[in-house]
Structure 1
Amino acid sequence: MTLADLVDLVRGGTLGPDPAKCAVSVAFTTRQGVRHATRDQSYRNTVISLRVAEAVGSCAVDDIADAEVHDCVGATVADLLDHPAPAVRTAALDAYLMHARPHARSNARTVTIDPGDSLAKSMARAAAVVDLLDPAPGDRVLVVGVVNSLLHHLRERGATYVPCDLRPGSTEWGEPIVPDALSALPGCDLVLASGMTLGNGTFEPLLRHAAGKPVVLFAQTASAVLPWFIGSGVRAVSAEPYPFFWLDGGPTTIHHYTERPAC
């Protein structure tokens, strides 16, 4: 399975309704800034989301103009799969698959993140993701998309890691963040990567260069898309649809896939 293969299946109606008859009714952005209690670092993210029927598909993006988002309203999924912006294409594909093959009717295992403050929920989500990765003590993990709560739990499990992100900086423990994930791959045993890699175009190169290393994804971006790559370079996916855990102090749900959804 490649991204092009998956898009072809969608265009052909193999996975659900005709995408030319599925229109976007709502398009919006979520802009987040956060600094958890007791943490020294803050960060911010922007996400574009598109609604198709009852489903919302999302993709993180560095920035996007309000007019570009508004122009998605009324467009069909078929139209937006040809959009020049990768984030729009990704959100449209995600919304379509969320509509055609919702997580609740999939073969995924549902995991509930209990209510709590932002740090408690971040840590709980991270613990569930690291459980899915299941590193052994001494394993070296390439982490693509730095989330300090994930790094905390890897340290707790006795694993080491190489933190990689397109944003420069350092981790909560002062470790430098590596910008080039591919150069760090040879020295790592496992890969834990964000769904943002699909939206920024680094996902398929990462899979090609992983060369058989186990790859686990934690996905807010493209949570309904990435499970289709299980068995094609991906071992498991922690899929988290909108609204994400950081938007609400109440319980939220993630879905753990270890098998590809059925066609």
Structure 2
Amino acid sequence: MAKPNSIAAASVGELIKAVLGGAYTLDPTELFATGAMWIAQSTKFPGTTQLYRNYYLLLRSGSAFGACCVERDDLPALVAEDLAGASLASLLADPRLPVRIAALDAYFGSVEPHRDAARATPWQLPLGTPHDRALARDRAIVSLLKIEPGQQVALIGVVNPLVQAIREQRGVCLPCDFNLRQTQWGDPVSNTMEPALDAADVVIATGMTLSNGSFDHILERVRARSVPLVVYAQTGSSIVPQFLDHGVTAVSAEPFPFSQFSAEPSVLYRYQ
């Protein structure tokens, strides 16, 4: 019997265990990280005060990239020098969570690339400035849900264009972020997500919740409350779709190379 391309996993740990146990179509011992990269990147839009700092671990396996955005001190910048040539199976057993996430993303990018996924719809981002492209990306995310006027939207991982896009649908944004203290408009940003998860009618979260270990808790809370969850994923763009119908309602998946690294038209994939 052919192995499935998806199973019902309750957590990221269960998903990794299933991959290592041979539950999927490809053997992770036969897939290798032929390239590894560490990227430090910052963004500041003209006329704003917010400086975004991003740090990425990227693994290439065949035609797929696995991506994990991390906090500045989560991994040393030289980490990528040690990973090239390793099997994805060995990297999925690495004690460092970001390495496991990048390897799992590369694995599912090989099992079912976005371009071949039955539930994925391509969405083209336009030629333009970083702000133009970020705003188009964030509107694509919000369009995955019908936000009713007055609904409370927990935003876990804050980017200002996404706050703006929620407001345009007349939702009430409940912003949460470890690194930001206020939005571009002066709204306070909470450094804990629990009150927002308790109050929200809708939850929107970044894929970086995979790399900081909070994704499983968010899944547990939205399942318990039957609340829709949309994930916008650069980190783990191929991982999050594995949880569709098992806590995740929709995904805006943006594989590497990300929109901020080019002005040219590019494609993200929306899953519903």
Q: Does 1:213 align with 2:227?
A: yes
Aligned partners of 1:198, 1:243: CA distance in 2, in Å? Answer: 19
Q: Distance in 1 between matches of 2:256 and 2:146?
A: 25
Q: Which amino acid aligns with 2:90?
A: D
Question: Residues 142 and 164 of structure 1 are in contact (CA less than 8 Å); yes or no, is this contact kept in structure 2?
Answer: yes
Which amino acid letter does the alignment assign opposite residue 67 of structure 1?
A: L
Give me the identity figure in percent: 36
Q: Which residue of 1 aligns with 2:5?
A: none
For residues 198 and 15 of structure 2, what CA distance do their matches in structure 1 show? Answer: 28
Shift of 1:149: 0.4
Aligned to 1:204: 216
Code of the residue aligned with 2:152 in structure 1: it is R
Say which of 55, 60, 65 aligns to 2:69.
60
1: CA distance, partners of 2:139 / 2:180: 25
Contact (CA 8 Å) 1:182, 1:206: kept in 2 or not?
Answer: no
2:48 match: 39
Match of 1:242 in 2: 256
Determine whether 1:160 maps to 2:172: yes
Q: How many residues align?
A: 258
CA contact (8 A) 1:123 1:149 kept: yes
> What secondary structure is seen at the aligned counterpart in 2 of 1:151?
helix
The reply on whether 1:114 has 2:126 as its aligned counterpart is yes
- Runs ≥4 residues deviating over 3 A: none
Tell me the SS of whatever aligns to 1:20: helix
- Could you state the TM-score of these two structures normalised by the residue count of structure 2? 0.92
Deviations 1:78-109 (A, max 9, x none): 10111111111000000111012100100200
* Cα distance in 2, alignment partners of residues 135 and 233 from structure 1: 18
Equivalent position of 1:95 in the other structure:
106
Instruction: Return the offset for 1:66.
Output: 3.3
1:261 is aligned to none
Partners of 1:36 and 1:133 in 2: CA distance: 27
Deviates more, 1:210-219 or 1:59-68: 59-68
**Contact 1:55/1:95 (CA < 8 Å) preserved in 2?**
yes
* Structure 2 spans left out of the alignment, 5+ residues: 1-8
Q: Do residues 50 (structure 1) and 64 (structure 2) align?
A: no
Tell me the SS of whatever aligns to 2:34: strand
User: Displacement, 1:118?
Assistant: 0.5
Provide the C-alpha distance between the structure 2 equivalents of 1:113 and 1:92, rounded to a whole number of angstroms.
26
TM-score by length of 1: 0.95
Question: Tell me, which stretches of 5 or more residues in structure 1 are unaligned?
Answer: 259-263
* Post-superposition offset of 1:9: 2.8
Q: How many Å apart are 1:244 and its aligned residue?
A: 0.6
Q: Deviations over 1:22-76 (max 9, x none)?
A: 1111000121111112323221100100000111010001132233221111111
Q: Does residue 128 in structure 1 map to residue 140 in structure 2?
A: yes
* CA RMSD after TM alignment: 1.2
8 Å Cα contact 2:158/2:180 also seen in 1: no
Using the TM superposition, name which of 150-159 and 176-185 deviates more. 176-185
Residue 46 of structure 1 aligns to a residue whose secondary structure is strand
SS at match of 1:27: strand
CA contact (8 A) 2:153 2:172 kept: yes
In structure 1, what is the Cα distance between the partners aligned to 2:270 and 2:221?
24
Q: Does 1:9 align with 2:23?
A: no
Paired letter, 1:98: G
Matched, 1:189 2:201: yes
- Distance in 2 separating the partners of 1:95 and 1:182: 31
How far apart are the structure 1 equivalents of 2:77 and 2:188?
34
Inter-partner Cα distance in structure 2 for 1:200 and 1:41: 22
Indicate if the aligned counterparts of 1:114 and 1:250 stay in contact, CA closer than 8 A. yes
Question: Is the contact between residue 40 and residue 172 of structure 1 (CA under 8 Å) also seen in structure 2?
Answer: yes
Question: Secondary structure at 2:144's aligned position in 1?
Answer: helix
Give the SS at the match of 1:141: strand
- Is the Cα contact below 8 Å between 1:133 and 1:192 reproduced in 2? no
